[in-house]
A and B are shown apart, each in its own frame.
Chain A
Amino acid sequence: MANVSAAANTPTKAKKVKKNSQGAEVWSRLKNRKLAMIALAGILLVCFIALISDIVYPYQKWAIEQVASNKLLQPFKDGSHWLGCDHLGRDMAARIFHGSRVALLIGVGSTLISLFIGSVLACICALYGGLADMIIMRIMDILSSVPGIIISLAICSGLGNGIWQLMTAITISGVSYHTRMIRSYSLSVAQMEYVESSTALGGTPTHIMFKHLFPNIISIIIIQCAGNVSGNILQVATLSFIGLGIKPPRPEWGSMLNEGLTYMMRSPFMVWVPGIALVFTSLMINTFGDCLRDAFDPQLKGKA
């Protein structure tokens, strides 16, 4: 019965998309998912906020400057401070806006860097095999045998506070995950029969790599990235929350929550506002990642 349904689907769909590339096909599937479009809009909104934060709320004047009279101003009381002010009288909205920059920068940045390092390591493993493969994989095994946060904690406390330090910590703890995933996927693709037949037909390693290996694992890499970005954003917030993040005056959602912890009784909004920003961003990215996965591989739909 699998035969029948497969036969029923492929020819009709293949006709429509045959000429388009994989990217166009994925996009056309995404366009038809309302949820995917909502999530994409959400992500774009966060990006937009990060872009305009300097224009709407100049950094020095709004996000840093402490105004004693505005201390713990409740939200929606004052027209110019619609999200209220924190315990030092700094505008919450401005801090949230500027915080989105840190979140996106580290979230996306460390994902890309660790993905790059991971891909290179995975390529070395796959190309040279043997000893190199064994050594790299053993190190990755060791790294992933302890909770990632312990490694990040050690790195952060060694390097001190700051954006770059935080980014390094999160990148390093992400490398082992990426290396393992990419390596195992490329190995499973390399064992496929179509690769074998291409080799038998005289395909060179580069030909196989770009024609077979790359297109097949690119979707997995993209999906993996989407999930990783939101994971990293949460990780940044977590590290900042326990006091290992950005240097203090710079606004960051996690450290804002840490400050909120102290004033939770009187001003619960200091916990709600940054938290909602954080959850919204990560939820949108996660949802979009899930939709992306469905779009790349309709067969996987509804699973996992």
Chain B
Amino acid sequence: MGETLLELKDLSVRYTTDGVISRAVNHVNLKLDKGEILGLVGETGAGKTTTALSLLKLLPKYTSEVDGEILFEGKDINKMDDKEIRNIRGSKISMIFQDPMTSLNPVFRVGEQIADVIKIHNEGISLHEVEDRVDNILTMVGIPPSRKREYPHQFSGGMKQRIMIAIAIACNPDLLLADEPTTALDVTIQAQVIKMMRNLQKELKSSVILITHDLGIVANFCDKVAIMYAGEIIEYGTLEELFDKSKPHHPYTEGLFGSIPNIQEKTSRLKPIFGLTPNPAELPEGCHFHPRCEKCMEVCKSGEVPTYRNGDYRCQCHLFAGKEAAV
């Protein structure tokens, strides 16, 4: 597709709590084009949210450390000072948070909370114009503008998430980070919200990074998919490439697909991945997935795992050794 909007080069994030260092994100490389939708998939604690927060420099100041480059429109976000990053937050990159129940400020009217973003990024805008735009945005997310004078607690969960989305899109951002936008919602509401987000994306032509652990949503929504495990992107490719069962995949990806039911195939049981996500303070040697991997080999237990590429597709697994050409 078109030009590159965002590029992560060797991004690493470490947290230090009580002298324990947790490596939450390790050497992540990613590229996102304008208008592209990337699905970032992984279990809880895989470092997805940390990655997203680092794009906005929203990580806790004193306890976290970010290495590597985050190039947004050619500028490194990691090196920006407070003022520069503030100009980007909300106007060029905005974020939809996981839990709409706690992410809205309970003491301000929802209209004010949307108007805030507009006022911050459009200096000297008239109040009348702000009101107009708030009404507009509320209509876009399917909330009657008359409700802007209500407080967050007067809305249901799905409606609150719509307001969160309204805040996020208020300034027409180039990049939208959606951090599990539907996890806290009912399944029926989830579908509505995802449908609405897709329509909005088409309308606004923003790029989106959708963080989720729901492969169904990814299949419905994304162009590219990156699978994250223990802070690394272990497999990356287009939606078609990753969802193509005839091709070989990273054992973890296979495990993820193995743990959701499929109506078309006849399987007696689902295949779960055994074990838990490793503790980011004590990551295993070698391939971080090897203790849980069914196809674990001697090479996996130590040393670096090389990345195998085929065009844009890449996979970080020893199983792919020598297969680059074949895939």
Cα A8 to Cα B24 in complex, Å, equals: 10
B280 at the interface (CB under 8 A from A): yes
B161 at the interface (CB under 8 A from A): no
Partner of A8, one of B59, B60, B280: B280
The chain B residue with its CB closest to the CB of A4 is: B24
A197 at the interface (CB under 8 A from B): no
A21 at the interface (CB under 8 A from B): no
Near A by CB (< 8 A), chain B positions 279-306 give 279-282
Cα A1 to Cα B98 in complex, Å, equals: 12
CB B213 to nearest CB in A, in angstroms, measures: 13
The interface residues of chain B lying within 8 Å CB-to-CB of A4 are 15, 22, 24, 45, 47, 50, 280
A5 at the interface (CB under 8 A from B): yes
CB A6 to nearest CB in B, in angstroms, measures: 9
Q: B50 to A12, Cβ gap below 8 A? A: no
Q: B20 to A9, Cβ gap below 8 A? A: yes
The interface residues of chain B lying within 8 Å CB-to-CB of A12 are 20, 281-282
Of A1, A3, A4, A5, the most chain B CB neighbours within 10 A belong to: A4
A130 at the interface (CB under 8 A from B): no
Q: List 24 A-B contacts (CB under 8 A).
A: A1-B15, A1-B24, A1-B50, A1-B53, A1-B59, A1-B60, A3-B44, A4-B22, A4-B24, A4-B47, A4-B50, A4-B280, A5-B15, A5-B22, A7-B22, A7-B45, A7-B280, A8-B17, A8-B20, A8-B22, A8-B279, A12-B20, A12-B281, A12-B282
Cα A156 to Cα B109 in complex, Å, equals: 52
Cα A247 to Cα B20 in complex, Å, equals: 59
Closest 8 CB pairs of A and B: A8-B22, A8-B281, A5-B17, A4-B24, A3-B45, A8-B20, A7-B45, A4-B22
**B residues at A contact (CB < 8 Å):** 15, 17-18, 20, 22, 24, 44-45, 47, 49-50, 53, 59-60, 63-64, 277, 279-282
The chain A residue with its CB closest to the CB of B231 is: A4
CB A70 to nearest CB in B, in angstroms, measures: 57
Q: A9 to B15, Cβ gap below 8 A? A: no
The interface residues of chain A lying within 8 Å CB-to-CB of B50 are 1, 4
Chain A at the B interface: mostly helix, strand, loop or mixed?
helix
Can you list, as one digit per residue, whether each of A1-44 has a CB less than 8 Å from chain B (1) or not (0)? 10111011101100000000000000000000000000000000
The interface residues of chain B lying within 8 Å CB-to-CB of A3 are 44-45, 49
The chain B residue with its CB closest to the CB of A1 is: B50
CB B179 to nearest CB in A, in angstroms, measures: 11
Cα A8 to Cα B282 in complex, Å, equals: 8
The interface residues of chain A lying within 8 Å CB-to-CB of B45 are 3-4, 7
Cα A251 to Cα B49 in complex, Å, equals: 64
The interface residues of chain B lying within 8 Å CB-to-CB of A1 are 15, 24, 49-50, 53, 59-60, 64
CB B181 to nearest CB in A, in angstroms, measures: 17
Q: A7 to B60, Cβ gap below 8 A? A: no
For A, the interface residue count at a CB cutoff of 8 angstroms equals 9
Knowing that A1-B24, A4-B280, A8-B20 touch, tell me 12 more A-B residue pairs with CB under 8 angstroms: A1-B15, A1-B50, A1-B53, A1-B59, A4-B45, A5-B63, A7-B22, A7-B280, A8-B17, A8-B281, A9-B17, A12-B282
The interface residues of chain A lying within 8 Å CB-to-CB of B282 are 11-12
Cα A5 to Cα B59 in complex, Å, equals: 12
Can you list, as one digit per residue, whether each of A128-150 has a CB less than 8 Å from chain B (1) or not (0)? 00000000000000000000000
Cα A11 to Cα B17 in complex, Å, equals: 14
Q: A11 to B15, Cβ gap below 8 A? A: no
Cα A5 to Cα B280 in complex, Å, equals: 9
The interface residues of chain A lying within 8 Å CB-to-CB of B63 are 5
The chain A residue with its CB closest to the CB of B25 is: A4
Cα A240 to Cα B130 in complex, Å, equals: 65
The interface residues of chain A lying within 8 Å CB-to-CB of B64 are 1
The answer to whether A7 and B15 touch (CB under 8 A), given A1-B50, A1-B53, is no
Cα A7 to Cα B22 in complex, Å, equals: 9
Q: A7 to B279, Cβ gap below 8 A? A: yes
Cα A7 to Cα B279 in complex, Å, equals: 6
Cα A7 to Cα B23 in complex, Å, equals: 12
CB B284 to nearest CB in A, in angstroms, measures: 14
The interface residues of chain A lying within 8 Å CB-to-CB of B53 are 1
Cα A4 to Cα B20 in complex, Å, equals: 11
Cα A7 to Cα B15 in complex, Å, equals: 12
The interface residues of chain A lying within 8 Å CB-to-CB of B22 are 4-5, 7-8
The interface residues of chain B lying within 8 Å CB-to-CB of A11 are 279, 282
The interface residues of chain A lying within 8 Å CB-to-CB of B59 are 1
Cα A11 to Cα B47 in complex, Å, equals: 18
CB B278 to nearest CB in A, in angstroms, measures: 9
CB A17 to nearest CB in B, in angstroms, measures: 15
CB B66 to nearest CB in A, in angstroms, measures: 12
Cα A12 to Cα B280 in complex, Å, equals: 12
CB B36 to nearest CB in A, in angstroms, measures: 26
The interface residues of chain B lying within 8 Å CB-to-CB of A7 are 22, 45, 277, 279-281
The interface residues of chain A lying within 8 Å CB-to-CB of B24 are 1, 4
The chain A residue with its CB closest to the CB of B22 is: A8
The interface residues of chain A lying within 8 Å CB-to-CB of B60 are 1
Cα A7 to Cα B276 in complex, Å, equals: 11
CB A32 to nearest CB in B, in angstroms, measures: 12
CB A292 to nearest CB in B, in angstroms, measures: 19
Q: B18 to A9, Cβ gap below 8 A? A: yes
The interface residues of chain A lying within 8 Å CB-to-CB of B49 are 1, 3
The interface residues of chain B lying within 8 Å CB-to-CB of A5 are 15, 17, 22, 63
Cα A7 to Cα B50 in complex, Å, equals: 14
Cα A7 to Cα B64 in complex, Å, equals: 15
The chain A residue with its CB closest to the CB of B64 is: A1
Cα A12 to Cα B22 in complex, Å, equals: 12
CB A15 to nearest CB in B, in angstroms, measures: 11
Cα A7 to Cα B44 in complex, Å, equals: 10
